[in-house]
Amino acid sequence: MTTLYSKPYLKRFLGLTLLLLPQLLRAQPGIATTATSTLLRPAAVFDGQELHSGWVVLVTGNKIVAAGPAAQVSVLAGTRTLELTGQTLLPGLIEGHSHLLLHPYNETSWNDQVNTESLALRVARATAHAQRTLLAGFTTARDLGTEGAGFADVGLKQAIDQGIIPGPRLLVATRALVASGSYGPKLSVDVEVPQGAQEADGPEGVVRATREQIGKGADVVKVYSDYRWGKGEPSRPTFSQEELNLIVQTARAAGRPVVAHASTPEGMRRAVLAGVETIEHGDAGTPEIFKLMKQRGVALCPTVAAGDAVSQYLGWRKGQDPEPERIREKRVSIAAARKAGVTFAMGGDVGVFAHGDNAREMELLVREYGFTPLEVLQEATSGNARIFHLTDRGSISAGLLADLVSVTGDPTKDVAALRQVQLVMKDGAMYKQP
């Protein structure tokens, strides 16, 4: 029997009314609504700079509304209390260099990932990578290039932001910029294959490519200021100073920072003079280059975990064989950067090694490169937030986003505690809890 309510337009009307009811109620004067509040009571709070015993953190909706000694934080009736016994509460960690659309090279080589894996497969895998990253305590990630997957990172970011899939907040670089002929994959000279980044040359070409990437959704522009021209060759500068200057000027006019893949002194020098905000890798940096970086306020993201992983993929038996030249060179460059007072960003080039294993970079910096646990923890929170212009996160303070992580133990003294993630909150929503 047909009734009035079975008519299609009435069904649509009733469905829309139910969907909008919460918003309609909030709009009515005199009808009070209260966002859910949670009081987090850990053993200690690391606020992005230092550790505080006896602190609590109050979250309402998606914001931190109070943080401080328990006796000084007022709590309303109905607030839920979550006891985090024996745990340290931290700001959500920020990954500074990742590639969600890549997976470890000992599973599938970079060439084969770009040449033989379909876009659908790569995106499906990236959704799993995003979830692993979040559950490892990294609530924000700077994703620096899709490596042949076009603008797929933009859609991945949208899916996370819309709550379709779980993952960290993303800053995406889309395709990245390379000089023609300098990148890969490279097969026979008779075969044209898709490249792992966007080729651009000359003043008009680099400006057009930069604008295109920004228009397609890039939050960050990444440029390869040096790379290998041929297999087995050392890296050499690729873009001219004029080209790099134009890339930075174009991006800056659109409110986007530029970051540079650079490992040679000349490639680093040109990128720094052009005005990039971070140098990624910096393997062969010299004291003179690091002095210039310090003067210009350019940070270094050393990605030691990637070099460590690749060396092992190539046969290095860590702990048994002598260290490869690549590793020895990295130790020298990082020591020189530290001596020059260069600011460090924390990022491991995740994707070269497994997503979710992000803490590997921090562990190596402490155990093998002379950093303290407190230093790397500051880098991965307030430090990265400052370098990446993320003023709404990276610290535990009233008014900031409720992106919070708890770990068992004290990570300011033992970096291994970062492996013991017990709670992950992003935007006030729980993704993991004890």
CATH number at residue 405: 2.30.40.10
- With cut-offs at 50, 70 and 90, classify the pLDDT of residue 206: very high
What pLDDT shows up at residue 318? 95
Q: What is the number of domains present in the chain?
A: 2
What pLDDT shows up at residue 20? 38
Distance between CA atoms of residues 391 and 140, nearest Å: 13
Distance between CA atoms of residues 105 and 270, nearest Å: 30
Q: Is residue 3 part of a domain?
A: no
Together in a domain, 207 and 292: yes
11, pLDDT greater than 60: no
What pLDDT shows up at residue 191? 80
Q: What is the mean pLDDT of residues 192-215?
A: 96
CATH number at residue 186: 3.20.20.140
Question: In 3D, which of 149, 170, 271, 261 has the Cα closest to residue 218?
Answer: 170
DSSP three-state, residue 264:
coil
What pLDDT shows up at residue 386? 98
Q: Strand (E) positions, 195-310? A: 198-199, 221-224, 226-227, 236-237, 258-262, 278-281, 299-301
373-384 pLDDT, tens digit per residue, is 999 999 999 999
Q: Which domain holds residue 412?
A: 37-91+397-432
Together in a domain, 174 and 123: yes
Q: Is residue 304 part of a domain?
A: yes
370, pLDDT greater than 50: yes
Together in a domain, 292 and 402: no
**CA-based torsion, 175, 181, 186, 188: positive or negative:** positive
What pLDDT shows up at residue 186? 85
Averaged pLDDT score across all residues of the chain: 92
76-104 pLDDT, tens digit per residue, is 999 999 999 999 999 999 999 999 999 99
Q: Is residue 24 part of a domain?
A: no
Together in a domain, 344 and 427: no
**198-199: strand order across its sheet:** 198-199, 177-178, 221-224, 258-262, 278-281, 299-301
13, pLDDT greater than 80: no
| Contact status, residue 420 vs residue 408, Cβ threshold 8 Å | yes
Q: Is residue 45 part of a domain?
A: yes
Half-sphere exposure of 403 (CA within 13 A, CB side): 27
Q: What is the mean pLDDT of residues 197-213?
A: 98
Together in a domain, 207 and 262: yes
Q: Is residue 80 part of a domain?
A: yes
What pLDDT shows up at residue 4? 36
Together in a domain, 254 and 372: yes
What pLDDT shows up at residue 28? 33
CA distances to 133, 139, 250, 379, 406 from 167, rounded to whole Å, are 7, 7, 30, 21, 17
- With cut-offs at 50, 70 and 90, classify the pLDDT of residue 26: very low
Together in a domain, 102 and 66: no
Q: What is the mean pLDDT of residues 66-80?
A: 95
108-125 pLDDT, tens digit per residue, is 999 999 999 999 999 999
Per-residue three-class SS string for 350-364: ECCCCCCCCHHHHHH
pTM higher than 0.85, yes or no? Answer: yes
- Going by DSSP bridges, is the β-strand pair 236-237/198-199 parallel, antiparallel, or unpaired? unpaired
Together in a domain, 215 and 253: yes
| Contact status, residue 391 vs residue 429, Cβ threshold 8 Å | no
Q: What is the mean pLDDT of residues 280-286?
A: 97
Together in a domain, 258 and 282: yes
- Going by DSSP bridges, is the β-strand pair 221-224/63-69 parallel, antiparallel, or unpaired? unpaired
Please give the residue that has the higher pLDDT: either 141 or 27. 141
What pLDDT shows up at residue 120? 98
Which position has the token pair 């005199």?
A: 30
Together in a domain, 42 and 159: no
Q: Is residue 330 part of a domain?
A: yes
**Residues whose CB is less than 8 angstroms from the CB of residue 95 and which lie 6 or more positions away in sequence, other chains included:** 133, 138, 140, 141, 142, 168, 346, 347, 348, 350, 358, 380
Together in a domain, 87 and 125: no
Together in a domain, 201 and 85: no
Q: Is residue 19 part of a domain?
A: no
214-250 pLDDT, tens digit per residue, is 999 999 999 999 999 988 899 999 999 999 999 999 9
- With cut-offs at 50, 70 and 90, classify the pLDDT of residue 190: confident
Q: Is residue 336 part of a domain?
A: yes
